[in-house]
Amino acid sequence: MAFQSLPGFRDFFPAEHAARRHIQSAWRGTAERYAFEEYDGPPLEPLELYIEKSGQEIVDQLYAFEDKGGRQVALRPEMTPTLARMVGEHGRALPKPIRWFSMPQLFRYERAQRGRLREHFQWNVDVIGEPDITADVEVLSVALDGLTALGLGPADVVARVNDRRLLESLLLGAGVPRDRLGGAYAAIDKMSREDAERTKQRLREDAGLGPDVVDAVLALFAEDLAGLRSIHGGDAAVAAEVDRLESYFTLLDEMGWSRHVEFDPRIVRGLAYYTGTVFEIFDRKGELRAICGGGRYDDLLSAVSDLQLPAVGFGMGDVVLGELLRERGLLPTSAPSPDYYVVTITEGERPLLRRLARALRGEGRSVSYTLRQVGVGKQFKDANARGASEVIVLGPDEVTAGVAVVRTMKDGTERRVELTELGA
């Protein structure tokens, strides 16, 4: 009886692990170029941390159980509550704004399907302690540069952005009662995936809006930012929010992202704690689920700690992103190959092989060889199979002369190199 991995969980064989590492290296490198610091927290947290902080959707899909001490615990389904807790603990002592990132493995209990597993790695980047829109810009810029580092440009991906404060002012202006906003958000969030009739139905039945209010709400989504200003600009609350979003776009443009970002009032995000700007990044063809989602959550820290700090951040998962990159041929398909492969003609050169290999490794080069002395042809076959760039041949003749033959595998050229030059 052979074992299998659990449904929705992945094995990372060397080729797949190389792909994962490629993605994570790009994430880490990008975050560090933006001078963000890496942190991590426990994969297991008190269940309570997620109840009513993350939204019902996430709570329903928690990997939760009771531990041997009788505690209700959950595998983390997202990183933000952990981040909020950690910042709440030591945030007072940290210079503001806090610029942190993490690449946690997250879990959720749900039927696995394309682009959606029970486990994934998610790049989280957050700016905490800065209410200004410049922080929102910084965060979205990191996300887009992460994708850029992986070879995805404006022809491949697009960030659709919105602001819940704008949406709120528009909905209130359209006659939606304040206590029905949540239901309206849920219906709007689904708009781009459903037909107009279904949306209407949701606004009426789920959000409990009257027919004229529903029509007023639907009319909002026919407009771009300028249209919203000219029609609803008389509403001071709307005008202020349009101003803010416009400056958001201006700053993004200054950073060079004008071709990557679009206004989309239907972007709401499912999570309960977003309070301001929200965005999602999609593949341009619209074939896949969202690659990345984020936004501003100014009240979450006060909900899980006694600190009150505004915050903005995003999460980008490796699953959908990996699918897109694989489609575009932007992922490595094999593990890294050795720089050198050492071949010995006879057993007599093995002591030299061991010394030479260690010396080269001491200089940071990767070195492989057959562990036992076998035929020279076999050693070369193995060097080839493992993709070695260069083979160092040690034979009695060369060793006597204090040299080695170095063969470049891709074109078969050989040259003689002094052993001392190789570090042996």
Q: Which two tokens stand for residue 3?
A: 């074992």
Residue 163: which residues within 8 A CB-CB, separation 6 or more? Answer: 241, 244, 245, 248, 276, 277, 278
Smaller CB separation from RNA, 105 or 305: 105
Cβ at position 210, least distance to RNA in Å:
22
- Nearer to RNA by C-beta: 117 or 220? 117
Q: Minimum distance from CB of 91 to RNA (Å)?
A: 22
Closest contact distance (angstroms) between CB of 108 and RNA is 5
Please identify, using beta-carbon distances, which residue of 44 and 225 lies nearer to RNA.
44
Q: How far is the CB of 416 from RNA (least distance, A)?
A: 9
Q: How far is CA 79 from CA 76, 84, 309, 332, 415, in A?
A: 7, 9, 17, 28, 54
Minimum CB–partner distance for residue 6 and RNA (Å): 7
Q: Detail the DSSP E strand segments found in 245-377.
A: 261-263, 277-283, 292-296, 311-317, 340-344, 367-368
User: Of the two residues 238 and 341, which places its CB atom closer to RNA in the complex?
Assistant: 341
Q: What one-letter code names the amino acid at 51?
A: I
Strand runs labelled E in 11-68: 37-38, 44-46, 63-66
Integer Cα distance of 392 and 367 in angstroms: 10
Minimum distance from CB of 397 to RNA (Å)?
A: 4
Decide whether 120 or 260 has the Cβ nearer to RNA: 120
Q: CB of residue 81 vs RNA: minimum separation in angstroms?
A: 11
Least distance from C-beta 310 to RNA, angstroms?
19
Give ∠ CA 213-218-224 in degrees, rounded to 5.
Answer: 130
Question: d(Cα 365, Cα 362) in Å, to the nearest integer?
Answer: 7
- In this complex, which beta carbon is closest to RNA, that of residue 94 or of residue 290? 290
Nearest to 282 by CA among 271, 274, 291: 291
Query: CB of residue 117 vs RNA: minimum separation in angstroms?
Result: 6
Considering the complex, state which of residue 8 and residue 154 has its C-beta at the smaller distance from RNA. 8
C-beta of residue 78 within 8 angstroms of C-beta of residue 54? yes
Residue 180: alpha-carbon gap to chain centroid: 33
ω into residue 154 within 30 of 0, thus cis?
no
| Inter-residue contact 82 to 48 (CB < 8 Å) | no
Write out the two tokens for 38: 């890496």
> Is the Cβ of residue 229 or residue 407 nearer to RNA in the bound state?
407
Choose between 178 and 410: whose C-beta lies nearer to RNA: 410
CA distance 50 to 401: 70
The least CB distance from residue 268 to RNA, in Å, is 9
Closest CB to RNA among 169 and 199?
199
Q: Are 166 and 245 in contact (CB under 8 A)?
A: yes
Q: Which residues lie across from 418 on neighbouring strands?
A: 403
Q: Which residues bind RNA (CB under 7 A)?
A: 1, 4, 6-7, 55, 57-58, 77-78, 106, 108, 110-117, 120, 122, 186, 189-190, 193-194, 269-271, 289-290, 293, 315, 317, 319, 345, 375-378, 380-381, 383-385, 391, 393, 395-398, 405, 407, 409-412, 414
Closest CB to RNA among 364 and 412?
412
Helix, strand and coil percent figures for the chain, each rounded to 5: 45, 20, 35
Q: How far is the CB of 9 from RNA (least distance, A)?
A: 9
Retrieve residue 335's tokens. Answer: 């593990």
Q: Provide the strand spans (E) within 136-203.
A: 157-163
